[in-house]
Structure 1
Amino acid sequence: MKFLEEGLVKVGATAVDAEDAIKQAGVLLADAETVEDVYIDAMVQSFQENGPYFVLAPHIAIPHARPEDGVKEASVSLLQLKDPITFGHSSNDPVQLIFGLGASSSEEHVDLLKKLTMLLNKEENVNELRAAATYRDIQTIIETGVSK
Structure 2
Amino acid sequence: MEVKIMDTDPKLSVDEVQLKAHASNWEEAIQVAAKPLVDGKKITNDYVTAMIDSVKKLGPYIVIAPGLALGHARPSEAVHQTGFAIATLAEPVKFGNKDNDPVDLVVILASTSDTAHLSLLQKIVMFLNDSQNLETLRRAKTREDAKHIAEQINGGDQ
2:127 equivalent to 1:119? yes
Q: Is the 8 A contact 1:34 1:73 kept in 2?
A: yes
- Letter in structure 2 aligned against 1:8: E
What is residue 44 of structure 1 aligned with on the other side? Answer: 52
What is residue 66 of structure 1 aligned with on the other side? Answer: 74
CA RMSD of aligned residues (A): 1.8
Report the alpha carbon displacement of residue 12 of structure 1 after superposing the two structures with TM. Answer: 1.2
User: Which of structures 1 and 2 has the bigger CA Rg?
Assistant: 2
Q: Deviations over 1:48-103 (max 9, x none)?
A: 11111111111211111111151000100111111111111121111111111101
| Structure 2 residue ranges without an equivalent (≥5) | 1-6
Higher helix share: 1
2:141 equivalent to 1:128? no
Structure 1 residues 6-25: aligned runs within 5 Å: 6-25=14-33
Q: Distance in 1 between matches of 2:145 and 2:36?
A: 18
Q: Is the 8 A contact 1:58 1:94 kept in 2?
A: yes
Cα 1:113/1:72, change in 2 over 3 Å: same
Q: Is the 8 A contact 1:125 1:145 kept in 2?
A: no
Q: Distance in 1 between matches of 2:87 and 2:123?
A: 17
What TM-score do you get using the length of structure 2 for normalisation?
0.85
2:101 equivalent to 1:93? yes
How many residue pairs get aligned? The number is: 147
Q: Deviations over 1:100-137 (max 9, x none)?
A: 11011121232222111110010010011011001321
Q: Distance in 2 between matches of 1:74 and 1:98?
A: 17
What is residue 84 of structure 1 aligned with on the other side? Answer: 92
